[in-house]
Amino acid sequence: MNLSVKEASRLLSVSEKTIYRWIKQNILPIYKVNESYRFNRAELLEWATSRRRPVAVEAFSEPESSALSLPTLSAALEAGGIFYRIEGRSIDAVLADAVAHLRLSDGVDRQYLQQMLITREQLTSTAIGERIALPHPRSPGLLNVVGSTVTICFLEHPVDFHALDGQAVEVLLLIITSSLRVHLHLLSRIGFVLHDKEFRRALLAQESRENIFAALAHAEQKILPPGKS
């Protein structure tokens, strides 16, 4: 989970010199351990996503034995679904309505999940700019969910999520996973496909489910190994 400067530079597709410059500018989430800089992979991915920085395609490579258990983003979205006209005029209200729409395993405490999402927003906004936010629990795996999902929710009213670019949020991509490993996997893929202009356009235009899935499939193909789908 702890990345070195070299590993962080590979993940973000920049030089180690750039990483050290960002450290001096105090703009990266870092930890100092025994005089060495270390990075939390989840925090670094969230940092990159929130600033629209691309993540190296190599970051998605997994040993063949491990990759089998990881869902594609398209499969996670198929499981989670797309919902339009989510109600609410505040962060708490839209998260409450979004949670009410989620396809969750039997026995999952929706009220507990709702509070986890609200608490996460109070700690640090999940808004990434351009009217998009990525709500998710701070500690994936605590909900005893079966499977992992990504759910797109289009808001009926724009809501201020305190985004860095100042734009109110209109689109939520809620990430609910069974483990931290799957969370990082899906977060990496979301960060990547959001750089695809056709997928982003379909998302921001709140197009049909069919168009969004088609745009996502096309974007995600760019990070799948040859012969995989």
Q: What is the rounded distance in angstroms from the CA atom of residue 51 to the CA atom of residue 33?
A: 26
What pLDDT shows up at residue 64?
Answer: 40
What pLDDT shows up at residue 31?
Answer: 82
What pLDDT shows up at residue 212?
Answer: 98
What pLDDT shows up at residue 46?
Answer: 74
Q: What is the pTM of this model?
A: 0.76
Residue type, 202: A
What pLDDT shows up at residue 227?
Answer: 44
Q: Which domains does the chain have, with CATH numbers?
A: 2-55 (1.10.1660.10), 69-223 (3.40.930.10)
CB distance 133 to 163 below 8 Å? yes
What pLDDT shows up at residue 111?
Answer: 92
Annotation marks residue 136 as catalytic: yes
114's tokens: 């709702």
Catalytic residue among 101, 136, 162, 195: 136
Q: Helices 110-123 and 91-101, interaxial angle, to 10°?
A: 140
3-state secondary structure 197-218: HHHHHHHHCCCCHHHHHHHHHH
Q: What is the rounded distance in angstroms from the CA atom of residue 113 to the CA atom of residue 100?
A: 10
pLDDT in tens, the chain (229 residues): 478 899 889 888 889 999 999 998 888 888 877 778 888 777 787 778 767 677 665 555 544 434 447 889 999 999 999 999 999 999 999 999 999 999 988 888 899 899 989 988 988 889 988 999 999 887 766 677 778 899 999 999 999 999 989 999 999 999 998 887 888 888 888 988 998 999 999 999 999 999 999 999 999 988 755 444 4
> In this structure, is the dihedral angle defined by the CA atoms of residues 138, 140, 144 and 147, taken in order, positive or negative?
positive
CB distance 204 to 194 below 8 Å? no
Q: Helices 5-12 and 16-24, interaxial angle, to 10°?
A: 100
From 163, 193, 161, 195, select the one nearest 77 (Cα to Cα): 193
What pLDDT shows up at residue 63?
Answer: 43
From 144, 125, 145, 149, select the one nearest 135 (Cα to Cα): 125
